[in-house]
Chain A
Amino acid sequence: MKTAKEIYSIWAPETSVWSPWVAPVIFHALEALSDAKRDITPEFGHAPIPVSPGEATAVILDLPGAESVRYAITLAAKGFCLVPLFNSSPAPEKDLVSLALIPSAPTTFPAPTEQATVSMRELLFAMLAATDVLSAKQTPAAAPPVFLLDSRRLKGDKPLQAGLFDNRWMVFPQDFPSARFLLEHGIRRVLLVQEAEASPQKDLAHVLLRWQEARLEISSFATARSGNVEAIIVPRPSWFRAVWYRALAALGLKRNPAGGYGGVFPGYSSG
């Protein structure tokens, strides 16, 4: 069984300047699953993105869970450094705390639901499979970064309903390197990869607009269209640069009475 620390060290090698941004949350779940029977075998085949490491370009993969990982592996093979930013958990706390982190802890309330607002099963198995690939690979120290996101993070992949574990999440500018850091490390362009849309999701727009204001070129590529890379102007999102954005964002995400990340949607009509 691989521990969370061991898996993390594969994704965040000490030699990479981008490793400090690898989000640790998901690695607890990867540890819990590392010995599980993998009934999903992701295929890391053809996932072309028109970019190469020599182009001073950072990539953001904002694709549905496992798809992000699939494209990331293609980019890793080209010489990019992968930076997963999945800031969420697949299950209620006691699944992780009681079952994975503290095996001896008492089981308390009734059995948890296996369903979550954002299903992470495929993503987790893809991450585990990718761990195997990366563990046999040496990432060049100067490799440009690929930030991995799950495009379903804000809305989930199913309608909110009673009993779902609400594990939606958001990204914030604090989750990424600053524009200054990117520029200091030779990054001049950022390529946003999404399924179909060219414009970034609202939370990501807060990040990209900061970068664009610092003269980083932002462009977009849609995997569903397999078209050309196109330059984009990032629209100004609500509450841009508002210092109270984090608080308002949290309130905005919680459209259900159980709260957002980490809460369970109990299906009450209040609110």
Chain B
Amino acid sequence: MTSMLQAGPQLSLSEQRTLRAEAMFDEFKWDVRCEDLEVIADFPLLLEHSTFRHLSAIAEGLSDELFAAEQELLVRPELHRKLGLPKSLCRCLREISVEPSAGAARVLRFDFHPTRDGWRISEVNSDVPGGFIEAGALARRVARFFSGVVVYGDPACAYMRVAEQNNRQVALVLATPHSDDHQVMFHLARVLQRLGLQTSLVGPGALRWKNGRAEVSCHYAEGMPSVIVRFVPADWLRVLAGRESWKSYFRGSRTPLSNPGYALLTQSKRFPTVWDKLKTPLHLWRDFLPKTICPSSAPDFDSPEWVIKPALGRVGEDVAIRDCISRDLWIDVLRRARRHPHEWAVQERFVAIPIETPLGPMYPCLGFYTVNGKTAGVYGRVASKPLVDQDARDVAVLGLSEAGR
């Protein structure tokens, strides 16, 4: 299977330096270093067209099933606590008399891994997927060093083109002191500005809703955004947005949100634990996501056969595989998962297949974006261990054109 996905040649030192400088200063990728790790891989991944089409079709099918399940979950509040959502969020989502907030440009990213049993997904990022810079702009810059290759789309452009339809003012909402989050919104702002749109980056508390319409009102930005693009995890909004405003990210907003806060219903790693209670068929999900259950249903979840994940974890934080992380971290995660099993999920571990790269064997992960259910690009990461977390490298995913084959 890995013949369908292979590492390309290593960039020369001069090409690496050029790429790094361009990433930082032309594309706003500021997190180029993580402790001792150079974050941008100095080689691309080459993905066969047939495999790209195959995985695209799966991602689109998974998207359709996810949206159907989400609609059902919105009217099944009795399942929300089982998803590991905080009580206050469940109370907000339970207010069925208030319409769910309008959604716009639904962007998802499915993380595919080559495994001994074929391609599998480890999760979907249905709330605030990142990686836009790397999947599009950075991949294009890597591609120019090779002949006969193509880039599989630019998710930032595809996403923003859908988001901007009939909209003139776009509020880009972020709330973090981390410049590596800020860079994503800078990048999206630039895409929108090139489309001729007005943008404003604001914190979640700068938005107020009046009669369902969002309003930006702070010292340097004001106006009525016609769409809101959010890069704040929805479960943080209770803290970061105003006492009443945060609820509008979930219910009651007539200003479309991308993504709406209720994306958390499927972002939760415990989503599979309610499948049997849903009428929505989830055939593809059952085929491609390894068995995922509550820790309380898996007495042996401390064995290396399981992956332990927090229900609302991000970027691989707290994801634990016994022989892939430090003993201290493993013990800490186990302790917390045992104490609060309903805030965690355990997933059967698949046997990931490494590929040979200029840096030695690496485990690849391909994040397929869909925007409103259509494939929009691929975000590649490679890790030296079979766990793709914050220590993984970003890698350009390129296709071989007919000429390059």
Contacts and interface: CB of A to CB of B under 8 A. Distances in A.
Interface of A: 3-5, 8-9, 14, 20-21, 23-25, 27-28, 87-89, 92-94, 96-98, 101-102, 105-106, 108-113, 162-166, 168-170, 173-178, 180-181, 241-244, 246-247, 249-251, 253-254, 256-268, 270-271
Nearest to B168: A108
A101 B177 contact: no
14 contacts: A20-B33, A24-B30, A92-B201, A93-B185, A94-B201, A108-B200, A173-B35, A175-B33, A180-B36, A181-B35, A243-B332, A261-B182, A264-B218, A268-B205
A31 to B, nearest CB: 8
A270 B17 CA distance: 47
A24 B30 CA distance: 6
A263 B221 CA distance: 10
B236 A93 contact: no
A266 B206 CA distance: 7
Interface in B198-255: 198-206, 216-223, 232, 236, 239-245
A251 B239 contact: yes
Nearest to A250: B176
Contacts of B34: 174
B304 interface: no
A260 B36 contact: no
A56 B179 CA distance: 31
Contacts of A162: 219
A169 B30 CA distance: 14
A109 B221 contact: yes
A27 B25 contact: yes
Contacts of B169: 108
A270 B245 contact: yes
Contacts of A268: 205, 242
Given A178-B36, A260-B175, A109 B220 contact: yes
B150 to A, nearest CB: 27
Contacts of B32: 20, 24
Interface residues on B, range: 35 or more
Given A94-B199, A180-B36, A181-B36, A260 B218 contact: no
Given A24-B24, A93-B189, 7 more contacts: A4-B25, A101-B190, A177-B36, A243-B329, A254-B239, A261-B179, A263-B203
Contacts of B9: none
Contacts of A259: 174-176, 202-206, 232, 240
Given A258-B206, A259-B203, A268-B205, A97 B174 contact: no
Given A246-B178, A263-B203, A264-B218, A102 B193 contact: yes
Given A97-B193, A268-B242, A261 B35 contact: no
Given A20-B38, A97-B189, A250 B177 contact: yes
Residue in A93, A177, A242 with the greatest tally of chain B CB atoms within 10 Å: A93
Nearest to B170: A108
B276 interface: no
Nearest to B25: A4
A178 B37 CA distance: 10
A98, A110, A176, A247 — most chain B CB neighbours (10 Å) = A247
B328 interface: yes
Contact of B219 (A113, A244, A251, A261): A113
Contacts of B218: 163, 258, 264-266
Given A92-B201, A250-B177, A97 B190 contact: yes
B205 A266 contact: yes
B119 interface: no
Contacts of B185: 93, 262
Given A247-B317, A259-B204, A109 B198 contact: yes
A105 B198 CA distance: 9
B374 interface: no
B305 interface: no
Interface in B151-196: 169, 174-179, 182, 185-186, 189-190, 193-194, 196
A110 B220 contact: yes
Given A109-B223, A244-B318, A268-B242, A257 B205 contact: yes
Contacts of A21: 33
Interface string B21-41: 100110000101111101000
Contacts of A260: 175-177, 203
What are the nearest 10 A-B pairs in CB distance? A259-B203, A257-B205, A263-B203, A259-B175, A163-B219, A270-B242, A266-B218, A258-B203, A108-B198, A261-B177
Residue with the highest number of chain B CB atoms closer than 10 Å, among A5, A108, A242, A259: A259
A175 B37 CA distance: 10
Interface in B1-51: 17, 21, 24-25, 30, 32-36, 38
A271 B220 contact: no
Contacts of B33: 20-21, 174-175
Given A27-B25, A181-B36, A106 B175 contact: no
